[in-house]
Amino acid sequence: MYAIVRDRGAQYRVEEGQLLDVALMDIEVGAEVELGEVLMVGGEEPRIGAPLVDGARVRAEVVGDAHGEKIIVFKYRNKKRYRRRTGHRQDYTRLAIKEIVA
């Protein structure tokens, strides 16, 4: 069984036992999180919401924090000796999907 959930504007396809990286949450490790915006529940009997599936929710546990890949941003103007090199590394919260309740 799988589900498609929406969390603060991003959509994810999740299955039980999966590790999922979502945008950074201010929640301590070990806390339970409920993703209530379920757009679709798939499996033997798929249910599609309009826009949400009634009564469906996904329970997850916070495993820890994670970091994304480093992104290099390089700006320059030719013939002007202007060069700027900066980087960015996005922070994520790692969730372990425990249960999909349809």
Series of mean pLDDT values for 10-residue runs along the chain (102 residues):
92 94 93 91 88 91 95 97 97 94 85
Residue 20, classified by CB atoms within 10 Å of its CB into exposed (0-12), middle (13-18) or buried (19+), is buried
Strand order in the sheet with 57-77: 19-23, 82-101, 57-77, 32-35
pLDDT for the residue numbered 43: 84
pTM to 2 decimal places: 0.80
Instruction: Give the total number of structural domains in the chain.
Output: 1
Taking the C-alpha atoms of residue 31 and residue 68, their distance in angstroms, rounded to an integer, is: 22
Closest by Cα among 50, 64, 58 to 95: 64
Q: Where in the sequence is the domain holding 18, given as residue range(s)?
A: 2-101
pLDDT for the residue numbered 44: 86
Q: Helices (DSSP H) in the chain: which residue ranges?
A: none
